[in-house]
Structure 1
Amino acid sequence: MTLKMYSMTLKRRSLLLSLLAMSSGSIAVAPNPVPVKVWKDPNCGCCKDWIDHLQKNNFLVKVMDQGNTTARARLGMPQTFGSCHTALIEGYVIEGHVPASDIQLLLKEKPQALGLAVPGMPIGSPGMDGPAYGGKRDAYQVLLIHKDGTSRVFRAYKPSTTA
């Protein structure tokens, strides 16, 4: 190897190391996915869309396609707050079309509660927001469900102004 070739090799190596050092500070590493169990009807499309929403927001979903009525009762979620799917995440029960951001906030704050619920199936909530709904969004509330069965509003969503 000539001196000129050796010098070029060193320059390339220095350049590559410099680029690597500069980029290493900006590499974003996603946190570990949060495991979730979801009970749903095997034929429910909106449940599948809600699961897709969770997966896009760093949740690792295990699906039980056996319906959710028995799971809801076993986990202690009052039927009054019922919807088409029930989930269990880090000891919290999630009922219905709860946005991933609200679940993430729940897991961060860790309140003494049973979990969160979006009763019914409001249009515009995650999983009920596909093209078939034409951008319409109903007002709805995410409720924090206490272990005694009482609830309070955790977050309220306004209706869309376009329809």
Structure 2
Amino acid sequence: MAALTDTEIQRRSRQFAVITAGLALIIIAAFAITMVSALTGPAADRPELTVLYLVYWSPTLFYLWALSAVRKTFRDIGQGSMFGSTIARGLRHIGWALLMGGTINSIIIHVVQSAYVPDGFSTGETHAFRGLKFDPAYIMLILTALALLLLSRLIAAAANEHERANRLETELGEFL
């Protein structure tokens, strides 16, 4: 497979930025539909359903932040920033967003889903809380987020060393 040119990488990055924005809009629409269903449900259940859905969707705010960071990183690459601090910043934001969303999803959402639900609340079914449960998918998401945070630091350090090498080369050129 032939190596991609900078122009091709920039073009594809701009396309990915548009696709990422579309995905974010789909998630926002799903959230809006869910909230409308809570607000148009039985009058007695509206406050409880609204709170329940807000808690249930809370990790999604962090995933939207991650999508926003991905989109911004793609946009930066599309504008010619192929390496350096902008990519490191994007990876750092993605890492933090996934770390926070995965943590909330693996702990808080499992507690909410397995906690007692009082009679008359939504469906009225009760679920016995049997301790913390951890979904391996969210643990993997947290580990991936930590890897992205480490990678962002490595890229930032490499970019700083590259800038330092360029300054030293310029300074050395002045001596010659």
| TM-score bracket for this pair, using the shorter chain length | under 0.3
Q: Which has the higher strand share?
A: 1
Q: Which has the higher helix share?
A: 2
Q: TM-score, normalised by structure 1?
A: 0.28
Q: TM-score, normalised by structure 2?
A: 0.26
